[in-house]
A and B are shown apart, each in its own frame.
Chain A
Amino acid sequence: MIRFVKISFIVIAALLSQVTLFPGYLRDPFQPNLLIILVVYLVLRSTTRFGGPAAFSLGLLQDCFSGLYLGLNGFSFLCVYLLLDKISDRLYTNSRYLIILAVFLATIVSGMLNLLLLVIFSAANGIYTTLLPALLPQALVNALIASLIFSFPVFGVVEEGR
């Protein structure tokens, strides 16, 4: 129960920072996406059995405050989770550098999946002109934030059982 409260608190704090705090101080492509960092944490550092549903829920939560299409980030976060989960057994998840690289790649993959889904299913023509230039800066910012977050002992340790 305490674990659930802790996780909820972290998710809410991340979401609030993303929606209300960062836009006030950081310019557009340089605002980090904390939720995707949480997804990477779920795959590589956490032992929860509900990682998949949790990643999907985080995506839906992101969709509630971003764009018009509920399920867009839900789908892409889940894909990122499954992809990383598939290869995580072969990765040295204790390494901080690997986590940073994973966050960078997860952001890129998630953004590309968003673009693919938007181009196929939505009427947002020309969104690639906004999405593609913003993707690399956001991936770099996410990697930077991940490097800071995973330097904290609480997040830096792989949970037992993984």
Chain B
Amino acid sequence: MRDLYSKYKVYLFTGVFLLVALIFYSLNLKNKEHANPLERGVMNFMTPVSRIVAAGNSLVTGIWSDYLNLVNVRRENKELRQSVTVLNSRMLENREALIANERLKKLLELKSSLQIPSLAVAVIGEDGSPWFKTLVIDRGEADGLAEGMPVVTVSGIVGRLVKVAANSSRVLLLTDHASGVAAVVQRSRARGVVKGKGGGLCSLEFALRDEDVKVGDTVITSGIGTVFPKGLPIGEVTMVKKGAYGIFQTVELRPAVTIAKLEEVLVLLQQRHD
């Protein structure tokens, strides 16, 4: 019996061990969702250790990933800066296109509302001297333009064409000292001639002293002189002065058009009949 035991001892213990393990397993099947004391003990013991190891691990991982990030961050930063620049310029382009679209839409509305054929032109330059007020536009004789043609925008008149070349022309602005436009005060129908005064202002000359002109009145083209069609806005009265003597009153105007901000204008294709 002893010999038999000695011979199969290993197998016996192994079998018993397996059986115990099986029984242990089968006994724990019922409590599969709850931790038994052994599990709890192990878990309680391991938790702080796990925490320390996990913290160490995350530290190492962090350092490693930070290092890797640092390697890439310069390149990535450069790329991001480039894309920010590209996006900013696109945004500006879009905004500019939107504004240009609005402007051109208004110009188109004016074009269709006018009875006279017209041509939209772009402003490409300004006068080289501070004491003359002219603009350079990008169309000329080749496009049917001629000296004397009126130039207008949605807000009102700008001036008239002078010195027309083949592919460019110059516009004598309303505010130039050499400019003169036959005008009428819209409210009282008082007549006069709007002359440029330089510095972005005009004056209504030859308005009789007895005529009714008030600050805030709108001055429009009278149609006399055949350069400008009747009824186009010229500007608004900003100052009226009646002296003690004299037959005329002094009337100052602010042009309806902001000349410093002109980008596109409309040339009315009508010939002057002198």
Contacts and interface: CB of A to CB of B under 8 A. Distances in A.
Nearest to B203: A126
Given A19-B136, A130-B199, A66 B178 contact: no
A21 B54 CA distance: 65
B128 A19 contact: yes
A65 B128 contact: yes
Interface residues of A, number: 29
Interface string A95-123: 00000000000000001001000000011
Q: Is the interface of A mostly helix, strand, loop or mixed?
A: helix
For chain B, what secondary structure do more than half of its interface residues adopt (helix, strand, loop), or is it mixed? strand
Interface string B128-159: 11111010100000000000000000000000
B130 A134 contact: yes
B125 A131 contact: no
In this complex, the interface size class of chain B, counting residues with CB under 8 Å from chain A, is 20 to 34
Given A19-B136, A68-B178, A124-B177, A130 B126 contact: no
A123 to B, nearest CB: 7
B131 A130 contact: yes
A19 B125 contact: yes
Contacts of A156: none
B184 interface: no
B129 A122 contact: no
A18 B129 CA distance: 9
Contacts of A127: 131, 177, 198
Interface stretch (A28-36, A43-51, A77-85, A86-94): A28-36
A129 B175 CA distance: 13
B92 to A, nearest CB: 16
Interface in B90-129: 124-129
B269 interface: no
Interface of A: 15, 18-20, 23, 28-29, 31, 33, 35, 62, 65-68, 73, 111, 114, 122-127, 129-131, 134, 138
Interface of B: 124-132, 134, 136, 162-163, 170, 172, 176-178, 195, 197-199
20 contacts: A15-B128, A19-B136, A23-B126, A33-B128, A62-B129, A65-B136, A65-B170, A66-B128, A67-B129, A67-B131, A68-B176, A114-B131, A124-B176, A126-B197, A127-B131, A127-B177, A130-B177, A131-B131, A134-B130, A134-B131
